[in-house]
Chains A and B, each alone.
Chain A
């Protein structure tokens, strides 16, 4: 028979029947069910296994604090391990599997651990598995790891998308129970921007689980009416299915909305979940309270549940774990469960009340001053052993046992900024402390107002206070105001295996052992026993452990302390924190102006920072990248090549002090650079280490264009702004980054001038006389398009760089190709660029590695002593100027057929090969088609004095040893005649 434990009433849509499977077996539930409520309705109590002992487990709670009923939800790539059945919304076609068991949930071979629990006590593994030493990795640990973990990942990429969003409000209300609803109504009616967030899919909080009345109507009606009124207010945003996971600095709250988790699969374009960053100057925490259990022997059997949870299942979900139920309580709240169950036709075996003066009841038997001391039932509760007030024992038959040890306010978010809760003796519980996150206040059960009346009144008052609303608070609706008396009762005396942390199998005995071995602070207890470290973060177990430790230490609970609550409030999908920032969207992609053209040409692209740059341009018949690169280099050196160098940073430096500013910025002089001239500049960090290099072109008296390396563009700009705003605030200089505004191409090779003369407008003389090496100018091309021309060379050839507004970059590249046909113009990519700069000994990123000085780079003399510049002073420290300092050199293999690897280290020709004899390292290497063998750049101790010396280049990780000769870094055209041609 289906749903044999389904009761009458409840807030489920009985007209919609939903099919689902658990461990392959078909069941039916209704709209509004959770997986747990539906399984209980189908008389399924056994839903999981514990972590260490693999004990059979059923749900303990009806909410997000659940330690036991965690399953693998869904299948395939969407498999979700460790999903709480108590919060998983039922949908048609839901599939779930139990986890951490083999071969089946009912028969779990690993349950053998339970037999050896005596050996597997807290911390046992620190004391053994040490002999022989090698066995840990080889034998013991693999076994332990096999047993590790609960659910399993699909090992497939998460197919669903996640969003991130940002929301602002005047007041964020966390929790939509009576306090939260009342607060939102108060603020909403006052016209304030309000966000009301609740982790549940149905707002109303405990009201949905109780049979209470507000204003003489069922409290559920009041909740529904309030939600309706709020959703009609344009200034109020309701966020159900939204868990506020963390309180971060300055009123920023993280909240996760489960947009599609109640659906079979998300709708097209929609996310599975959204991580909201909520900016809230004022926040009201109305997170309610969590019932706490009482520990007694074998209190972990399926069917042993929190009394309030059984009540929730009966009242809200019309489901019961059994037809005959007992209650074990130390307070009046447990009796509510008995009354509500009776009203639903469930038999009450007895209410076991620890209080000798417990209230009597006619409808059910109350065992006053009695305690549950043990339970029976292999896969589910069958009997409870009770010790009566007079000491006699009695066995009570029951399929479920509701346990109530009182309520703990949910103070978690109040502690996210390391505030500590304070102990309230009247409640025998922790309540929010004095130091809340700035802007946060607390109301309702979360602050200890446990009655409905208390929740409504504190909610309204707190909202008023937080927003500074004037006028008197409107009368709050009429509701019960039962007095709350919570006398602490943590565990049944003399028990041994009484569970505190049910998921991690931490028992009272483990806490006692922890104390015995000196692990007595809360932090030590937690770490030594793993109490409270499970997926529920100890929401139902920390207090018990704390209380027992306090008793053993003979201290009051607050003296022992409380563990720090940290975000997230409940475990949160990692995907939600990443949002859309994954895959190809991990970083933005920057495309050069010639990208589409290069793509047509079949270019191979490479990532440089966020840029995509053409690496080389393969042509028909080329099978290896080296063929393409060698061809591009040779063609450029022999005729003319074109390379897109737009990615170099371009910073506009203007103002009457522009030259003086650059003089501070670069270690070499710029004050006297003539208009129409460009100069190479080396920038140091203040600590004297080379930061970046590039050129500065003086287009006008008060206007420079500075280039930076591609990788450092952003950092250099930031540095320049620092120097401008913080170090020299009264220099007249303005900085604007224009990197992407101009498409800039290097046109290099003996025919580069001839090619450019075909596009540059005739008005401009770019002959060697009219436009010599290092000249620059604003010009026009192709009949009037404004452009910039620089006579600079990275390749070492006669070369220019020409820049036009980016939108024309594509057309200019095509123009250069067509006009250049007569010279066999060749586009070249970053590889050929790299080869040519190595052939010329130009330093690049690999050499400017953040540890090298001007001296190391062979530019020691560039650092002007005649002026002050950033870094010049600290570059004079002895450690940066030692006699055998590393100096940039070139290396070539003695046997031209041999390879050279970047990253290799330089050793003397003979003698030992080890760190003590390390003399330098190779930074860049390439095959030089111009020379017909590989060449490299590197740093060598006292390198300048060692040209011609033979050494060994060793690279153990790539298993390479090769005899090399130290050479000048300028392999090609050392006199630089070509670039001046």
Chain B
């Protein structure tokens, strides 16, 4: 059971609105987003419910939900929302806040998704571009799932779908510098 009325101002709602530029209060729970969302059935709470949870100020629940990790930012929902709420932005805001305040959803799926993104970013950091083969390999190693998609590998490699090398950036250090500054900016906030 959830007890309401115990917390004072709904600071969580304000934070989300501020970060996303959307106004969650506009949501009138029609559910069009849920039917639209391609991954809503994989979410602990579909978008509509997340919106309500934000309205109720349920910070923990929203942070720990896998919903914002599953959001593909495909913008189908916002395109159909009768109140034109930027739902992906809201999801992104919740995710970023969760990351900033180190809330860790420990379900393996979310862990994998998160791992993938981290590896991806590290790839760019290292090469300035994405190195697909290496990324896949690393992903499989880090997620302790060596043979995932291995059945595709030979075919893909054979057909040159996935190149063996990557042409790294001339000024890769420009990227590293960018990373450094960006991270500093994150902290500043």
Q: Do A and B truly interact?
A: no
The interface of chain B, by Cβ under 8 A from chain A, is none
The interface of chain A, by Cβ under 8 A from chain B, is none
